[in-house]
Amino acid sequence: MWPKRPSPTWSPPDRLSMVVGSGVAWDFWRSLGSPRYVCAPMVDQSELAFRMLTRGMGVGLAYTPMLHARLFTEHEAYRSHTFDPELARRDRPLFAQLAGHDPAVLLEAGRLVQGKVDAVDINFGCPQVSTIRIHSYLSPVGG
């Protein structure tokens, strides 16, 4: 039997609020509209078209695919593939997942996504080999 779902007016316990800094995290969650369904980042799956498809099915919060911070700062094609200005209002709230090891590059990539996402998830290391390959739109035609 499934556990009973909390009511729409459910509030987190006070003890949890104290742990996350007097409810700051819950205030942020509420500022996003308290999304019930979240589409977590998936390797080679969380591109814009997939995010828009999931939003049509009720997803309230989506993640970008893992973005290689250095490539994101160096290649306009990589950035434009992730964000479409015409769909920007419909693709929110949105969290970006940036991967990298250089704090300065991560900061630069974070500044480039500023205003396009609601939060940034930093990934300092991922075991997925497919996340480190360079996508075809950065490769020469036929390469």
DSSP string, 55-101: HHTT--EEEEEEEEHHHHHH-HHHHHHH--TTTTTTS-SEEEEEE-S
Contact between residue 11 and residue 34 where contact means Cβ atoms under 8 Å apart = no
Contact between residue 58 and residue 37 where contact means Cβ atoms under 8 Å apart = yes
Which of 16, 43, 104, 126 is catalytic? The answer is: 126
126 a catalytic residue: yes
Task: Report the catalytic residues.
Answer: 126
